[in-house]
Amino acid sequence: MFFDSHAHLDDIKFEEDRDVLIRGLLNRGVACVINPGDTIESSRAAIELAKSYPHIYAAVGIHPHNVESMLDSHIEELEQMASYEKVVAIGEIGLDYYYDNSPRDVQKRRFVDQIELASRVGLPIIVHNRDAHADTLDIIVENIDKIPGGVMHCFSGSVEMMREFLELGFYISLGGPVTFKNAKRPIEVAREVPLDRLLIETDSPYLTPHPFRGRRNDPGYVPLVAQKIAEIRGIPVEEVAMVTFQNTLNLFNIKYERDGSSMDTFVYVLGDALYINLTNRCTNRCDFCIRNENAGVGGYNLWLEREPTAQEVIDLIGDASRYSEVIFCGYGEPTIKLDELIEIAKAVKAQGGKTRINTNGQANLYHGENIAPRFEGIIDTVSISLNAPTKEEYQKLCRSEYGEDAFCGMLEFAKACREYVPNVVLSVVDILPPDKIEASKRIAEDLGVGFRVRKFVEKQDMA
């Protein structure tokens, strides 16, 4: 399922078939849409759509094209609208020096006014920036303490510009232009943007993705954007769908309730062990990852529409002592969901269960600190996928976001875990040549941790 984080369904171009189109989105794989406003009237219309359809959310704001006629009283009106529970952002707001439909000094003043509004109502901002990078950045930097998060919508800048916005805590949203035949910058951005800061959108009715360019755009085309990003990054489209869905929920603080048809597998039994599937996110792109080919293991579909809460998993586990082990594994890197993992592990230990984490060992790199002390007393085994005996071979095989630093970071993590976890194991898959397996074994011995050669066919050993 996909989340279109930006579509103007209130636009006149949807006048004739809006209801049919919106009702049909679920069948096209699109579960949710955010409809931003660009005038007072369209902000009102966005709210009406959010009231009419459970899977539509609204943002309210005045687009830079329209700020010349904006009145101070409009800020009060927007503030009142923002109190409606399904208004999830202030937007779209920002600067547009390409069309210059409003004088630039007015654009800047009204951008700041609407940032201050976002600050007062505690909502993130949806930013439009066209040919106005320097001023957009300056205004955001000057007001960063007031801004409760935000997204650079339909981002068209360079990778360097993207990094400036990422450093300010912003998300980056990509739309149809990433699919265009002449696309350059969006492709570079799609390759470089950290997955946990990526959103997808259509900006409907504009910017229709290839191969439908020229037609009216609508949210049902957002899977094409995800598909292109998946191709660029060499990852499954399901992962792009899941990660961007979750990122959108996180940024806009949306509590998405699954309907009865959703079949997310948060826990599953293999043999006499219980496996926990906390996330589909991962900092690696291993060549041998089962996710490249399959939807899951043992008949379970492990792609998630959303990530579970700790309490949901605890409820599903029930009596943990029934299982030989409770294993944090799943279809992604479980330590990315560290707080949930710790809470669940505590609950399992309180029932006398045994716990194991199957991990790629990059948790300290991901969290920017040594997280191993948090395992003390609640994790019995940490099984780290060494996969290769050198940093170069590891990176070639596992394609970590951290480059060749991933290998050393993983070994440091193994060392750190040794102090807090009774059983730490490094593992390799049996497709490695025997001399590489031997070299890997020596690394484990030097670190004073266990070593295991796992069969490639043991599909449950993801990480």
Q: Which residues bind ligand SF4 (CB under 6 A)?
A: 282, 284-286, 289, 291, 332-333, 360, 398, 462-463
- Which residue's CB is nearer to ligand SF4, number 98 or number 288? 288
- Which residue's CB is nearer to ligand SF4, number 162 or number 363? 363
The CA distance from 241 to 42, in Å, is 28
Classify 4 as helix, strand or coil. Answer: strand
- Which residue's CB is nearer to ligand SF4, number 291 or number 391? 291
Going 245 to 249 to 252 to 258, the CA torsion angle's sign is positive
Strands (E), 116-248: 125-130, 150-152, 171-174, 198-200
Q: The tokens of 390 are what?
A: 């050198």
Tell me how far, at minimum, the Cβ of 396 lies from ligand SF4, in Å: 13
Tell me how far, at minimum, the Cβ of 280 lies from ligand SF4, in Å: 8
Tell me how far, at minimum, the Cβ of 306 lies from ligand SF4, in Å: 18
Q: Confirm if 193 and 183 have CB atoms less than 8 A apart.
A: no
The CA distance from 429 to 93, in Å, is 51
- Which residue's CB is nearer to ligand SF4, number 304 or number 463? 463
Contacts of 153 (CB under 8 A, 6+ apart): 5, 6, 36, 91, 92, 126, 127, 128, 173, 175, 201, 203
- Which residue's CB is nearer to ligand SF4, number 42 or number 400? 400
Q: What is the 3-state secondary structure (H, E, C) of 113-133?
A: HHHHHHHHHCCCEEEEEECCH
Tell me how far, at minimum, the Cβ of 365 lies from ligand SF4, in Å: 13
CA distances from 425 to 329, 415, 448 (A): 15, 11, 9
Tell me how far, at minimum, the Cβ of 275 lies from ligand SF4, in Å: 13
If residue 347 lies in a helix (H) or strand (E), which one and from where to where?
helix 338-350
Q: The tokens of 58 are what?
A: 């609204």
- Which residue's CB is nearer to ligand SF4, number 286 or number 378? 286
Tell me how far, at minimum, the Cβ of 254 lies from ligand SF4, in Å: 26
Tell me how far, at minimum, the Cβ of 360 lies from ligand SF4, in Å: 4
- Which residue's CB is nearer to ligand SF4, number 127 or number 462? 462
- Which residue's CB is nearer to ligand SF4, number 153 or number 337? 337
Q: Which residue has the tokens 């069969």?
A: 455
Q: Which residue has the tokens 């360097």?
A: 160
Tell me how far, at minimum, the Cβ of 332 lies from ligand SF4, in Å: 6
